[in-house]
Amino acid sequence: MQMDNQLFKDRYRIKSIRLPDWDYGSDGAYFITICVKNMECVLGEIKNGEMQFSSIGKMVQKYWYEIPQHFENIQLDEFVVMPNHIHGIVVICNERYVYCRDAINRVSTGNDKCNVGGITKHHNPMLSKSLSTIVRWYKGRCKFEINQMQNKIFFQWQSRFHERIIRNNK
């Protein structure tokens, strides 16, 4: 990375907004916000103080609730869809995670201590259960499914996402 900084003189490097030295795969609760690209109000509209979902908003909600089916170490808490963004609380609880999958064959190994896979061993991104991996899956799944809709919508999320580590009940 040092070489890249010299080569490009920090021109193409975007400073991370994540808390330094925090393991975003560790147990904890995270409040996240994900915005639609250009803040377009395509998820629905608020009428008489209530959110009225568009078809896109319904899909965004559907795939949020599917997150625990794809990440065994995740619990979901509060979640709200707004016209151009979502807010949700994701709880990472690694003691719930018992099985892992062989990254190549996508089959359960039944070994609760396996955080290694295939040729890449510990560096396999498919085995990561970090917040970034979860959000990447969610955003990708929503985008893919929404863009497959019959009216050929071109839907995009804003790059990145905002998070807050929830440190106490307050």
Residue at token pair 């890249």? 4
Is the pLDDT assigned to residue 102 strictly greater than 50?
no
**Short-list 42, 77, 71, 78, CA closest to 135:** 71
Lowest pLDDT segment from 16-25, 111-120, 132-141:
111-120
Mean pLDDT rounded to a whole number for the chain: 79
Lowest pLDDT segment from 105-109, 117-121, 140-144:
105-109
Report which of residues 129 and 31 the model is more confident about: 31
Is the pLDDT assigned to residue 111 strictly greater than 70?
no
Residues 55-68 have a mean pLDDT of 96
Burial of residue 40 (CB within 10 Å: 0-12, 13-18, 19+) is middle
Task: Write the secondary structure of 35-100 as one string of H (helix), E (strand) and C (coil).
Answer: EEHHHCCCCEEEECCEEEECHHHHHHHHHHHCHHHHCCCEEEEEEEECCCEEEEEEEECHHHCCCC
User: Please, which pLDDT band fits residue 110 given cuts at 50, 70 and 90?
Assistant: very low
Is the pLDDT assigned to residue 114 strictly greater than 60?
no
Q: What confidence score (pLDDT) does residue 35 get?
A: 96
pTM above 0.85, yes or no: no
Residues 116-143 have a mean pLDDT of 73
Burial 136-155 (b: 16+ CB within 10 A, else e): eebbebbbeebeeeeeeeeb
Domains along the chain? 19-166 (3.30.70.1290)
Report how far residue 39's alpha carbon sits from residue 132's, in angstroms, rounded to the nearest whole number.
21
Other Cβ atoms less than 10 A from the Cβ of 157: the count is 20
User: Please, which pLDDT band fits residue 28 given cuts at 50, 70 and 90?
Assistant: confident
Is the pLDDT assigned to residue 115 strictly greater than 80?
no
